[in-house]
Amino acid sequence: MTANTSSTFFVRSFSACLCLFLLAQITPSSALSQDESRKNTPKTSVSDRIKPIGEVYISDAPTIVQQPIDTNVDISPGEKIATAACLRCHSAGLMKSPKIGNHKDWAPRLKKGRETLYDHAINGHNKMPARGGKRNLSDNDIKAAVDHMLVGVK
């Protein structure tokens, strides 16, 4: 046997084995087992089989109600408003806001005059929102809060 005939023999033998293997896979017994497996599965519609696993519920956006400022406590109106609207930023000096009662922080602002401070507090200035973010406060409420924050500042 030469090398050419031995390789031909190998290819023919391999092809024959492969054909026998494939024929063994396609038999009536495998077709019967598929029919039996179909009998055991419950009948469901296509839409039931492909529906998503979970569902998402998206409700309406929550309604944010601005709480009224409690006026029954025995403190000045300016202090009540400053506590409710201004204290969050002005107590810690957030976003470079002047700290309550700190002369060094307020001095350059006071040079512009109290009316300018009132205007900035009412209409907003730089990062500070108008009326401290509390739209229900009147101009007089805002002025009282500014006056309270300036107590002790000369």
DSSP type of residue 95: G
Question: What pLDDT, on a 0 to 100 scale, did the predictor assign at position 71?
Answer: 57
- For the entire predicted model, the pTM comes to 0.50
Residue for token pair 């109290």? 114
Residue for token pair 């046997």? 1
Report d(CA 52, CA 64) in Å as an integer.
33
CATH architecture for the domain at 77-149: Orthogonal Bundle (1.10)
Q: Which two tokens stand for residue 17?
A: 């084995």
- Bridge-partner residues for 128, per DSSP? 125
Could you read off the pLDDT tens digit of each residue along the chain, which spans 154 residues?
566 677 888 888 888 888 888 877 776 555 555 556 566 666 777 877 787 777 776 766 666 666 666 655 567 788 888 888 888 888 888 888 888 878 888 888 888 888 998 898 889 888 888 888 888 888 898 888 888 888 777 6
Residue for token pair 């009536």? 28
Q: Are 101 and 110 within 8 A, CB to CB?
A: no
